[in-house]
Structure 1
Amino acid sequence: MDDGWNALIERRTALLDEWSAKQREIAMLQAEASTLLARRWELWQEEVAAAPQHRDAIERSMMAEYSAAGHVSQGSMTFAFTDAHLLATEFGAVRESFAAGRITPGHVREILREAAPVREAIETGVVEAGTLMLYEAAALETAENDTATRTRAQARRLAAALAGSTVVEQHERAATERTITVRSIGDGLVLLQAVLPEHLGLAIVDRLTKMARHMLKHPEDRRPEFGPSEPEEVGLDPETLLPVGDGMPDADPTEGAIFGSHTFTADPFDLPPDPRFHDDSPCIIHVPDDARTMDQLRADLFTDLLLASTPTEAHGTGLESIRATIQVTVAATTLAGEDDRPAELDGVGPLLPEVARSLAGQRTGWTRLFLDPSGMVVETDTYTPTEQMRRFLRARDQYCRFPGCRTPIHRCQTDHNEDWALGGKTHIDNLAHFCGRHHPIKHPDIPDSHRWYARQLPDRSVEWISPNGRRYRDRPSRRVMFVPSVDHPDPPGSSHDADQDPTERPPF
């Protein structure tokens, strides 16, 4: 048995190693392809310098040729050329990591695009030129150890910390572009698009998802189709409400009836057996299962809410109490109006300070978070220990702690990493949020050949151990890396900040 198990593990490990090596090779080849695009960009600049009056035609011709040769859309080729040029001229550390196969094109794309506020702040003189190197180094720390999606969220936080005023200005400009558009996509369908502030869009999807899940779990909130409503239509005598016809020969029509004052009704528990009273009888009303998918439910609820303000009666009143959930973190100084640093829409990115203040004004409860100089949440000031632990965990985790997973914490379960039944303690160092997809894979009922294990390390990273014995680490997301300014560009934790208290950021 042991020999067979060891052989299986060796085969699994060999295939995983081979796949990982190929992924690195692919990344390295894509880095080489990016270098070729950068060289072609330089040649394009030479061609434009020789004939500036034909600049647009030269560019269109180049994009068209590469698009045709690579079977790639021209829009994608435009992005690819832009990224290749930036990578070659401004992001040396990212280029080196990409060439070594440590990051993928997805990581490169997110780092370069989220750097826009930092580059703009440098161009306008808001921050020093070296700020881009700080951004690049910090973003790579995440990119080389996590997914491109998580890299995007962390890169946004970094850009907000390094060039906060520029981020706020960009968001203010973007907010003026909110709009609703509709276009036909055929077969009687249209594409309805809404360009909205990010926190509103996320809240809308969250509420629709909660409502759809409620409908799937509560069929009683759906009004059934009752079909025929007249007694004659369902084979009942209109006077006695008892079955008539061949099924009830020589029966006393009043037998089994309950009499009252000037009225009577049939006792359903005293009716004689009748073949018409069975599961398929029209007298028995069944609420059918909802066959719609989650996407279809969200679309139907979206339509109901927009056209009728509230869900239709068919969806029941249980949905009326469902509200959207987002989590926001804002500095106390920003909340008090002492500065306009961007707040943070947890797990997503920066949020306009006036939006955070508005949301804060609608809340009656507060939790202060004390951050150490590295930006790690270390304490909350609530009074009840259990609630303190929950709030601390929500602030620390932000999303499922399986490597690369982005499921927000309000859709996750709090897990004892070391099983409670086996002596695991209810302590923040033994608790983490896992989503419905990753929580079950460590359940004791799963055979050891497919079961995962999770444990927390001293730095609060969650280490997952696969059935093959491989270890994968998910590090806690930092809330703020550093907050430089023109007059004081040094990050927290430097000699200038040694005697300062940790930053306070209260979420709501």
Structure 2
Amino acid sequence: MNSSPASDVEQRQRLLDAWVEKRRQIAASEAEAAALLAERMRLLDDDVNDHPHHRDAIHRSMIAEYSAAGRLARGSVEYAFADACLLESEHPAVQKSFRRGDIAAAHVREIVRAGMIVRLAVREGRVDAETLGLYDAAALEVAEHDSPGRTRAMVRQIAASLAGETLVERHRRAQGERTVTVRSIDDGLALLQVVLPEHLAAAILDRLTRLARQVIATRDDQDPVLSSDTLDSGEDAVFLRDLAADDPHRDDPVLDDHHIDHDPHAIFGGDTFTTDPCIEHVPADDRTLDQVRADLLTDLLLASDPSSATGTGLDGIQAQIQVTIGAATLAGADERPAEFDGFGPLHPDIARDLAARAGGWSRLFLNHTGVVTATDAYSPTEAMRRHLRARDQHCRFPGCRMPAQRCQIDHNHDHARGGPTSNDNLSHLCLGHHTLKHPDIDDRYRWAARQLPGGDIEWTSPLGRRYSDMAPRRVMFV
């Protein structure tokens, strides 16, 4: 006898509740593990005090032992010890949340590392000691309700706002850390790593993605091109009569009548000619998006412009990023950091340089909480798009960080069911999350979304659970 729909829902809810509880227990256990590392560091201090001349050897030995016992890389163990010590000594509120299982280890990592500039500002006396507590409270407000990826972007903004000019100085120093490295990862592959300003890295990935999507969208329209190096080589050599009348290779002196006369497989018929009745077809281009991006990066670096080979107009595709900067900062009246939307603070000099090169900027009006309420555009349709891009920054499904310019604008309440085309019913969703609420999906698996006052999106899952995605707030740098 088949189970009833109600029992199916109950079973799914039970499994979801059990999974969420297990994840909470895992986070709490990881907090206990971090506390053990902090306790071990206290023993290290005692050992070093007894044998100060062997400080480095004692530390290296401890790291090696934990690395071997835990089957972890040395760098991972070193980071774990450092984070555990900072968590216990500098971030007690974050540690309590971690022990309760309200945040995961990934959240802790982002909070602790982004808080470095706040801790430095406190030590140097540029901000009050209470500032670190304010940072923890603000960071937890984000981390306990959002993914580690989004937490990273927000805590960097919070830390920059609280630390003031430290961020500008830090970005200026970091410019000197630009580098390119390569290391083997076996099987004939290598990892090429480039460290460069974040806005440039994001722009490079965005342009590679746009180029790759163009190649994939048009690759079926391309005619295969036979290399001239293979025209007259191998068992299936191409001869003069194989070529069209206007083919430039017909003038190649290597392709003379001698090759035709000695081709035993030549078959003539009307205006057609082939050297073999078994035609070999060129394999279809079935590369994935990542593979096409990697190939395009190679072409751009080693062979300049790939559009000369593909013929798909790739040279017309430009990268897109979104930056928010205060009017006074843009005019040079102050040096407050700008905001690289979806990533974090941006050096004001870089933002001003981008502004000078941009084809247009939108003036944004914010309320006291930092939410965009309007733009200065006059065209209704374009104004709404500009408003939504500025407000959303990324896909509005909880935890998703797909940039808004690569998302679709969705009617939260379906237009076909009476939903208005207005800013308070529109938001950006990536393709994967947009399809979750598509009307064609069976109601048993379909998600619903509605926009709340202020731009927050409330999602309802097929199980009836509700998840909120808060409208991104802009940190007011003061």
Same fold (TM over 0.5): yes
The alpha-carbon distance between structure 1 residues 403 and 247, as it changes in their structure 2 partners (threshold 3 A), is same
Residue in 2 aligned with 1:503?
Answer: none
Question: Is 1:167–2:163 an aligned residue pair?
Answer: no
- The structural deviation recorded for 1:66 is 1.8
Distance of 1:389 and 1:479 partners within structure 2: 19
Structure 1 vs Structure 2 CA RMSD: 2.8
Question: Is 1:327–2:322 an aligned residue pair?
Answer: yes
Check whether the contact 1:150–1:406 (CA below 8 A) recurs between aligned residues: yes
- The structural deviation recorded for 1:104 is 0.4
Question: Is 1:462–2:471 an aligned residue pair?
Answer: no
Residue in 1 aligned with 2:297?
Answer: 302
Larger mean CA deviation between 402-411 and 308-317 belongs to: 308-317
Residue in 1 aligned with 2:313?
Answer: 318
Question: Is 1:437–2:432 an aligned residue pair?
Answer: yes
Residue in 2 aligned with 1:414?
Answer: 409
Give the counterpart letter for 1:417 in structure 2: N
Residue in 2 aligned with 1:24?
Answer: 24
Q: Deviations over 1:113-143 (max 9, x none)?
A: 0011111122222222111111111110010
Unmatched 5+ stretches in structure 2: 232-236, 246-255, 257-264
Residue in 2 aligned with 1:118?
Answer: 118
Distance of 1:430 and 1:191 partners within structure 2: 44
- The structural deviation recorded for 1:3 is 7.0
Question: Is 1:206–2:215 an aligned residue pair?
Answer: no
Check whether the contact 2:336–2:477 (CA below 8 A) recurs between aligned residues: no
Distance of 2:266 and 2:120 partners within structure 1: 85
Larger radius of gyration: 1
Larger mean CA deviation between 24-33 and 102-111 belongs to: 24-33
* Identity in percent: 55
Check whether the contact 1:367–1:382 (CA below 8 A) recurs between aligned residues: yes
Q: Deviations over 1:159-205 (max 9, x none)?
A: 12112311111111111111222344444444322211111111111
- The structural deviation recorded for 1:35 is 1.2
Residue in 1 aligned with 2:78?
Answer: 78
Give the counterpart letter for 2:117 in structure 1: P
Question: Is 1:93–2:88 an aligned residue pair?
Answer: no
Give the counterpart letter for 2:64 in structure 1: A
Aligned residues: 452
Distance of 1:287 and 1:312 partners within structure 2: 20
Q: Deviations over 1:189-239 (max 9, x none)?
A: 443222111111111111111101100000266451347765633799x9x
- The structural deviation recorded for 1:310 is 1.2
Residue in 2 aligned with 1:498?
Answer: none
Question: Is 1:193–2:193 an aligned residue pair?
Answer: yes
The alpha-carbon distance between structure 1 residues 150 and 234, as it changes in their structure 2 partners (threshold 3 A), is same
Secondary structure in 1 matching 2:433: coil
Distance of 1:449 and 1:234 partners within structure 2: 59
Check whether the contact 2:307–2:313 (CA below 8 A) recurs between aligned residues: no
The alpha-carbon distance between structure 1 residues 2 and 134, as it changes in their structure 2 partners (threshold 3 A), is farther
Residue in 2 aligned with 1:38?
Answer: 38
The alpha-carbon distance between structure 1 residues 45 and 418, as it changes in their structure 2 partners (threshold 3 A), is same
Residue in 2 aligned with 1:56?
Answer: 56
Q: Deviations over 1:373-412 (max 9, x none)?
A: 2211122121122222111111111111111111111110
Residue in 2 aligned with 1:146?
Answer: 146
Question: Is 1:232–2:227 an aligned residue pair?
Answer: no
Q: 1:319-468 counterparts in 2 under 5 A?
A: 319-468=314-463
Distance of 1:183 and 1:47 partners within structure 2: 37
Distance of 2:364 and 2:78 partners within structure 1: 43
Larger mean CA deviation between 29-38 and 136-145 belongs to: 29-38
Check whether the contact 1:329–1:345 (CA below 8 A) recurs between aligned residues: yes
Distance of 2:186 and 2:20 partners within structure 1: 42
Give the counterpart letter for 2:242 in structure 1: E
Residue in 2 aligned with 1:137?
Answer: 137
Distance of 1:230 and 1:314 partners within structure 2: 24
Question: Is 1:292–2:274 an aligned residue pair?
Answer: no
Give the counterpart letter for 2:471 in structure 1: P
Give the counterpart letter for 2:393 in structure 1: Q
Check whether the contact 2:115–2:159 (CA below 8 A) recurs between aligned residues: yes
Of structures 1 and 2, the one with the larger relative CO (CA 8 A, separation 6+) is 1
Unmatched 5+ stretches in structure 1: 239-243, 254-265, 485-508
Residue in 2 aligned with 1:488?
Answer: none
Q: Deviations over 1:62-90 (max 9, x none)?
A: 22222222222221111111111111111
Secondary structure in 1 matching 2:137: helix
Q: Deviations over 1:326-371 (max 9, x none)?
A: 1111111111111111111110011111110000001242211111
Distance of 1:387 and 1:296 partners within structure 2: 34
Larger mean CA deviation between 302-311 and 342-351 belongs to: 302-311
Give the counterpart letter for 1:446 in structure 2: I
Between structures 1 and 2, the one with greater helix share: 2
The alpha-carbon distance between structure 1 residues 47 and 290, as it changes in their structure 2 partners (threshold 3 A), is same
Secondary structure in 2 matching 1:448: coil
Give the counterpart letter for 1:332 in structure 2: A
Check whether the contact 2:214–2:312 (CA below 8 A) recurs between aligned residues: no
The alpha-carbon distance between structure 1 residues 6 and 187, as it changes in their structure 2 partners (threshold 3 A), is closer
TM-score normalised by the chain length of structure 1 = 0.83
Q: Deviations over 1:229-286 (max 9, x none)?
A: 65633799x9xxxxx99886xxxx7xxxxxxxxxxxx7xxxx9xx9x8xx9868xxx8
Check whether the contact 2:371–2:454 (CA below 8 A) recurs between aligned residues: no
Larger mean CA deviation between 378-387 and 220-229 belongs to: 220-229
Check whether the contact 1:304–1:310 (CA below 8 A) recurs between aligned residues: yes
Distance of 1:327 and 1:463 partners within structure 2: 25
Distance of 2:372 and 2:266 partners within structure 1: 77
